[in-house]
Structure 1
Amino acid sequence: MIQLDGLHGQVAIVGSGIAGLIAALELAPQPVVLITRAGLGQESSSAWAQGGIAAALGADDDPAQHLADTLQAGDGLCDGSVASDILADAHEAITMLESYGVCFDMIADGAYAFGREAAHSHRRILHVGGDRTGAEIISALTRAVLQCPSITCLTDVEARRLTTTNGRVTGIHVQHGRQAEVLRTSQVVMATGGCGGLFDASTNPSGNYGQGVMMATRAGAALRDMEFVQFHPTALDTPQTPLYLVSEAVRGEGAILVDQNGKRFMAHMPGAELAPRDVVARAVHQVIADGGRVFLDARTTLGSSFAQHFPSIYGICNAHGIDPVREPIPVRPAAHYHMGGIAVDRNARTTLTGLWAIGECAATGLHGANRLASNSLLEAVVMGRRAAHSIAGCKIQIPRTALEPEWLPHPDLGLVRSLVSRHLGVIRDEAGLRSAISNLLPMVESAGCASDPALVALSVAIFAYLRCESRGGHYRSDFPNSESMTRANQMTLTEILTHAGSICQEPLLRTA
């Protein structure tokens, strides 16, 4: 049963990844309702994060150099001012995490043990427990939340819709089993994660299809940069769903990518294996598309120390009959992170009054067209804190009325996932995008079981169709060059559906 007695009028946070947990803790002692469809931190991409958290805290590093790397990776679409502000808060973010019980890995002299990842000019990645960073941070924050008397946790409860009146949030529709209720509140924080579950090959929890994006845009909030999906180049190539991640930190320690013949195919590229993720992912994709296979070879650089450096990855490989000490690891690209999402300002406020968004479901402008590795955990902490401070300065209300909730059927991702995987993957083109749009639009309009995930997928397809260039995580084989354009940067649902209807009527084969 969903027990909402005494909870109406409290801040509602949807999602229990790092961003949501931080926001709840930073709002204390203000009462907060934390809504999560599983247990705290479960079914969260945060808990699966292996790489770490980027922070320019080394003696030879500073936020300006971190910013330069971020802007270069973002391929011209980062909001420089926002990015500078977020990265400058790294020291405060790390100190705050430590205050909640997070113990970062140290070297013998007690200094931070910094790792390196792709497109970073310095070793600035902090880890916890080697490759268990996300899980260990979630564990520490969960303990803190459970000990915080101002936070009420509604676990195994799924948020499905926002209710609004005159362009303002008035509540959130939640479900458990066959029961549906509306929590009446004027302040909601979306912290629901990404949309990797829309793809067959993904490193995200399979059920994460962009629920926060869906609820926000249905309620009238604008979306931003939806076309930019980052594909991680080195997911473990097994039949497992979702795919296990082989962290970029393995390449940061010197592992190389080879094809089925043992040829190192990234050696001629600037940055080689540590080139930006979109570059590496396309190279890996091309080898596989040509009928080959790709392997990550750590035998020479890590060898017998692999298990010490990456205990989780070593265990996962062993469980699948792979010994990284003696053989290369089979890998393939997989949907990993969504740079786009709900448009927010530097304080996490959306275009809808009463709604904030943080973490992967939000588009702050930090990542631009291509996220710099390990910037996302930093962003989650910084923006979770900022959202809490922004909310603390706003008067909360208990709306007098709310719509009677109607139970909504569980979303069906089957057909949507097939379309997305075929047409919105590493390489896209006009014909594929048009096919996706023409098939997804009727699903959205039908209001059936596929409507919610289809809406998120359609948004990605529309943004991708309108961006007639290749930039960062968005690659068009029919427009392979980068152009100076920003079209389709931000749209509401009405605009998305209008474009979809028009595109379905347009003749095929536009030319570059």
Structure 2
Amino acid sequence: MTIDVPQSILDALTDVAMPRLPPERRALGSVAVGDHSVPVHRHGCIVMGSGAAGLRAAVELGRRGGDVAILSQSAWGGTSACSGSDKQTLHTANTAGRGDDLNAMARAIRAGGAMDEDTAYIEAAGSGRALASLQYLGLPLPQDPLGGTLRYQTDHDEVGRATSCGPRTSRLMVRVLAEEAIRLGIPFFNHTTGVRLVTNGGRVAGVLAMRPKQADRANPLGLAFYRAPVVVLAAGGPGELYRDSVYPNGCFGSLGMALEAGIELVNLTESQFGIGTRREGFPWNLSGTYVQALPHIYSVDAEGREHHFLGGCYRTTQELASNIFRKGYQWPFHATRMLDFGSSLVDLAIFRETEAGRRVYMDFNRNPEAVPGDLPFSLDRLDDDVARYLGTARASQATPIGRLRRMNPLAIELYRRYKVDITAEPLEFAVNNQHMNGGIAVDTWARTSLAGVYAVGEAAGTHGVTRPGGAALNAGQVFGTRAAEHIAASGLARTAPGEDAEASVAAALAGAVRAVESVLRAGSPLDVAGVRAEVQARMSEKAGMICQPDAIAGGLSEARALNARIRSEGIAHDRPAEAVRAVQWQQMALASEAVLSALDTFVRAGGGSRGARAICDPAGASLPMSAAGPLEDYRFRPERPEHGREQLVVRLDGRAFEVSARPNRAFDEAARPFFERDWPDWLTGRIYGLADR
């Protein structure tokens, strides 16, 4: 039996057309800065990024009367619009059946450690509103006949709080939010890359951006100044940081820009790595039903010989197949799941194959091969949790492609759209970097350490060591809304600054322009391609999911040396578009040093393996085993419990990074609001804490 879904429905959920942007507003004038005639735009708030989180902040502020504009490097080209998985997840409070316990949900969100307890509760409490408002805007989340939202289990989720519109959930979120932003008349400035935060008197004064298509003789770098007393950073994560990455190409984020403005970052040691198709083709996460269909996984060497490498990892065919299945809801690599023949032993085995120069494939026309000497694969020989899931899904077809077609035909259709027919050919994949759990440090209203600057979405470091799958989409919606509420309450974004505003920040703007010019040096021995190759290779090889303390320290020394060279020699460029990339790679090199500084500090303090990374150590107490015996090269340190109760804060002080620890913010579950007592704080706006800075 297969799901009989009309082609028109499959098309609508995979080919998601985005709205046409409105005509762009003209600049209000220009200001001479050195050799540049810089156009000036004035708004109450600038949102950097046109993904789901940034659009939510813009829409909510626009609804509240704020004068807000959106800057986008490439509208509909970021992670929200271009990434996903088999049935991309939105993680919200479960409204089906008996509802949910928000305290329990908050505990699940922060269970991995190194996360603020109040943030976790905010995400839990705000999730119902986020889901309902998306449905109101037209997001087609699935329901049962009585109106309950359909749910399933996802990563780090034992309750089943996940829901999905299919593989394009976040793109559909972007579409409905973009349509609302356009309806509200919010201006968009596309092909506009923010490169420097302009500050004045200890607070933000606007954003210096580069617009290559606007470059001319009077403005050779295509500079533009967006004057605003409030800026929301929502440009996503540092997707270009790793060579082995499942991010769409061109995702740089804003961590380097934040560092240069003196803003604090947090939890840069925490990322996510997992299996996905390679970036050179169509990058996509292979979680959920892709692996729950139980495809055959194998590698091919340079001579074209196949290797059934998982057969040497697990003791029985049943154990092998069941752990392939568990990658569906244990998708991210986790060091502890390498132990006791767990599901992350699959990730480690794939990592070892690629390190050996072999290419790894997933074949949906073949069932898993038997472990040598054991019984062949059979749906009748699976662990209880696996058998129960497949039975409930009625996925008893003879082949993986049959089971996948039964459980999720959209998963097949998606790859077909990108000229990959997984019904006929194997799918090449690897272990890739997928998400930065750390980022810009924010408080409970998404405020950063620089007055007037907020951060939402993956730009914000609100996640801890682990998070339930889909919690990031929810967090962006919740904190995008909270940022807008706080900005509206402050009154700072109601109107744009007056024409005299440029004079008050002229020196700061000139400094920002000089900083950009200092990066761009004709004749420099450094170029964009070289800096990119060096940064990505170092991060993938020395700060990926398998780490060695000495390699981290060596990588940090190399990163410092590269940044010293960039400061001294700059980066060459041939044209305005490459000038933008040169500045972005200068900032990415800075972000790389920040990550390695945090990792090195963590490891030198005895930090162990958790979440994204295994910290390998010959004296480590944790030893993964394979069917062939112990894997001594991957013996690792376990996590120290005290490190889960704190977070590492990183700040750029001049040219050096300061790394310090702070305890997680606490949340008192026993505290109870009382309506008559607490209502006046909401009525008067005291809940926003506007006087506490």
Q: TM range, normalised to the smaller chain?
A: 0.7 to 0.9
Shift of 1:136: 1.2
The worse-fitting range, judged by mean Cα deviation, of 53-62 and 29-38 is 53-62
Give the alignment of 1:193-208 within 5 angstroms. Answer: 193-208=236-251
* Structure 2 match to 1:372: 468
Shift of 1:69: 2.8
Instruction: Give the number of equivalent residue pairs.
Output: 488
Counterpart selection for 2:411 from 313, 326, 329:
313
- Distance in structure 2 (CA, Å) of the matches to 1:172 and 1:455: 19
> Structure 1 pair 250/119, CA: closer, same or farther in 2 (3 Å)?
farther
> Structure 1 pair 496/424, CA: closer, same or farther in 2 (3 Å)?
farther
* Structure 2 match to 1:452: 587
- Distance in structure 2 (CA, Å) of the matches to 1:485 and 1:495: 30
Q: Is the 8 A contact 1:427 1:477 kept in 2?
A: yes
Counterpart selection for 1:185 from 228, 233, 240:
228
TM-score (norm: length of structure 2)? 0.65
5+ long unaligned stretches in structure 1:
501-512
1:59 aligns with 2:128: no
* Structure 1 match to 2:433: 335
> Structure 1 pair 109/58, CA: closer, same or farther in 2 (3 Å)?
closer
* Structure 2 match to 1:10: 44
Counterpart selection for 2:210 from 175, 179, 200:
175
TM-score (norm: length of structure 1)? 0.86
> Structure 1 pair 121/296, CA: closer, same or farther in 2 (3 Å)?
farther
1:323 aligns with 2:422: yes
Counterpart selection for 2:116 from 65, 73, 79:
79
> Structure 1 pair 87/495, CA: closer, same or farther in 2 (3 Å)?
farther
* Structure 2 match to 1:91: 128
Shift of 1:467: 1.2
2:284 partner SS: coil
- Distance in structure 1 (CA, Å) of the matches to 2:237 and 2:445: 20
Which amino acid in 1 is paired with 2:640? E
- Distance in structure 2 (CA, Å) of the matches to 1:155 and 1:370: 34
> Structure 1 pair 34/498, CA: closer, same or farther in 2 (3 Å)?
closer
Give the alignment of 1:90-489 within 5 angstroms. Answer: 90-128=127-165, 130-149=166-185, 151-177=186-212, 178-210=221-253, 212-232=254-274, 234-236=275-277, 238=278, 240-241=280-281, 243-248=283-288, 250-251=290-291, 255=294, 258=297, 260-261=307-308, 263=311, 265=320, 267=322, 274-275=329-330, 277-279=332-334, 282-291=344-353, 293=360, 295=362, 301=390, 302=395, 303-304=401-402, 306-307=404-405, 309-318=407-416, 322-324=421-423, 329-364=427-462, 367-396=463-492, 398=497, 399=501, 400-402=504-506, 403-404=509-510, 405-406=513-514, 409=520, 413-445=532-564, 446-447=566-567, 448=570, 449=582, 450-468=585-603, 469-478=608-617, 480-486=637-643, 489=648
Q: Tell which structure's C-alpha radius of gyration is larger.
A: 2
Shift of 1:36: 0.2
Q: Percent identity among equivalent residues?
A: 21
- Distance in structure 2 (CA, Å) of the matches to 1:94 and 1:81: 20
* Structure 2 match to 1:510: none
Shift of 1:186: 1.4
1:13 partner SS: strand
- Distance in structure 1 (CA, Å) of the matches to 2:288 and 2:235: 24
5+ long unaligned stretches in structure 2:
1-23, 29-39, 213-220, 299-306, 312-318, 338-342, 368-378, 380-389, 396-400, 521-526, 571-581, 618-635, 660-693
Q: CA RMSD in A?
A: 3.0
> Structure 1 pair 204/428, CA: closer, same or farther in 2 (3 Å)?
same
CA deviations 1:274-302 (Å, max 9, x no partner) are: 33622268523321244374648697755
Shift of 1:332: 2.2
CA deviations 1:154-208 (Å, max 9, x no partner) are: 0111100101123211111011113112212110000010112211121112222
- Distance in structure 2 (CA, Å) of the matches to 1:111 and 1:498: 49
